[in-house]
Amino acid sequence: MLSITKTKWSRFAAFFGLFCCALVASLPQDASAQGVPLIRDTEIENVLNDYAQPLFKAAGFGAGRIRMRIVQSDAFNAFVLDGKNVFVHTGTLMQANTPNEVIGVIAHETGHITGGHMAALRARIAKDQTRALLAQILGIGLMVAGGVSGSDSLGGAGQGVMFGGNEVIMRSLLAERRQQESAADQAGLTLLNATRQSGRGMLTTFERFAAQEYISDAQKEAFARSHPLSTDRLARLRKLVETSPHYGNKDSAELQLRHDLMRAKLSGYLEKPQTVFNRYPATDNSLPARYARALARFFQGGPGALDAAMAQVDGLLATRPDYPYFWEVKGDLLMRSGRTSDAIAPLRQALKLAPNASLIRVQLAGALQETQGEQGVNESITLLRKSLIEDENPRAYRLLANSYYKMGRRPEADAMIAQAYFLEGNLKQAQLFAKRAQTKLRQGTPEWLKNDDIINYKPQT
């Protein structure tokens, strides 16, 4: 199941993430509650984690310290906002032909984290004339926004702010940023060498965007805008990559297959059916192509769409009955078609094959509480509470609240809704439900303590 969460993010944070990928780390709550539309999907997250974890380990980061986040955007881009998350656009995953290309991007972004570049930028802003410097950054942000939207007035406003501010501070900041980008290259390649991986993918990515240095910002990919690349920097990068003893190392066939299945899934869920059929024509009988076409056939709609899609998914399962995500997709498509009872069996099988998949556990819990009466509600509570130990997410809290409401446990239900709102970044509603629950919860219980934290939470300014 591929789910998309629309979350709030200020215009300032939106363009600043592209410009220097740092300051919004000082905003309150989890970055996922501040940013852009985020995708949650077990299959895709597992692939990205398998790409990233060796790099994170080589960098000295403990397990679970840094999370991979998937942003729904066609643009090729990746960025970091803090030392806890690496954000990768779906456009990056779709355009990268090999795992090594994505691994190279992750290595570069990890280099920003190991270099403490976000903290350095925050310290720089605190040290300089903050108001003047932020005016400069806002000016660039407004120009980028104007270029993308085609708004002359917006771009003009940005230029006025920029040129009216302190040019010396801005030039110094940009020079520091260029140094950070070069340092992130070298740190990323060090991590790739430590994990015996080629830097060819990183080089391929930067060479792809090298030509964009000479076109306007409005026409550049986001990655090219936020990762300025000089000729000297590219030459240094090429030399380091080509002289590495691991330059010739290639991705395994199994990893390449998982990469291609991930891309097929993204295409099937996110692109128009006709686009999918053009990308994966009927003459292509590979597993990824069949995967994408099964999803596209379902979303194409019309008479017999579900039956046709199910026939194709069953064909995938006949080929790979041990692949949990084919079972998961079967359950998801059945639920989307209103056949929730029929979805339970494939979701159970998916969870059996992937017992640590908290998102599949949440999907199964939703199906059970919807169709299986009191017994289903009780089982869903067990599933949801376990999933929240492994991975806090708003949908699990809302489903758990629904189970509690059905059982007449109103205070616990309100407490779960408060947690959901808090994770989504809606502090006002979170505190409203937390206060409502607090009066009825037993003091000192885990639910009471979490609600107390929400009630007393004060956003950073």
Instruction: For 105-114, write each residue's pLDDT tens digit.
Output: 999 999 989 8
37 near 6, Cβ under 8 Å?
Answer: yes
Q: Is the pLDDT of residue 50 over 80?
A: yes
Burial of 171 (0-12, 13-18, 19+ CB in 10 A): exposed
Query: CB neighbours (10 Å) of residue 214?
Result: 7
What is the secondary structure of 34-60 as a DSSP string? TSS-EEE-HHHHHHHHHHHHHHHHHTT
pLDDT for the residue 33 = 42
What's the order of all strands across the beta sheet hosting 3-5?
A: 3-5, 38-40, 67-71, 85-89, 78-80
pLDDT level of residue 27 (50, 70, 90 thresholds): very low
Q: For the chain, how many helices (H) and strands (E)? A: 23, 5
pLDDT in tens, 412-437: 999 999 999 999 989 999 999 999 99
Instruction: Identify the residue whose tokens are 């596209």.
Output: 296
pLDDT level of residue 17 (50, 70, 90 thresholds): very low
Please give the domain boundaries of the chain with CATH numbers for all domains. Answer: 3-129+166-242 (3.30.2010.10), 290-455 (1.25.40.10)
Which of 116-120, 159-163, 202-206, 216-220 has the lowest average pLDDT? 159-163
pLDDT level of residue 154 (50, 70, 90 thresholds): very low
Pairwise CA distance, residues 37 & 7, whole Å: 6
Q: Is the pLDDT of residue 257 over 80?
A: yes
pLDDT level of residue 318 (50, 70, 90 thresholds): very high
The number of angstroms, rounded, from the C-alpha of 402 to the middle of its chain's C-alpha atoms is: 27
Which of 171-175, 276-280, 281-285 has the lowest average pLDDT? 171-175
Q: Which of 258, 20, 262, 18 is nearest to 133 (CA)?
A: 20
Percent of the chain whose predicted confidence (pLDDT) is above 90: 63
327 near 350, Cβ under 8 Å?
Answer: yes
Q: Is the pLDDT of residue 21 over 50?
A: no
Q: Which residues pair with 67 in a beta bridge?
A: 85
Pairwise CA distance, residues 424 & 32, whole Å: 8
Pairwise CA distance, residues 196 & 193, whole Å: 5
Instruction: Identify the residue whose tokens are 């239900």.
Output: 413
pLDDT in tens, 291-315: 999 999 999 999 999 999 999 999 9
Pairwise CA distance, residues 371 & 254, whole Å: 38
pLDDT for the residue 234 = 87
pLDDT for the residue 128 = 52
pLDDT for the residue 36 = 64
* Token representation of residue 366: 């939703």
Q: Is the pLDDT of residue 127 over 80?
A: no
Mean pLDDT of 334-346: 97
pLDDT for the residue 208 = 82
Q: Is the pLDDT of residue 29 over 70?
A: no
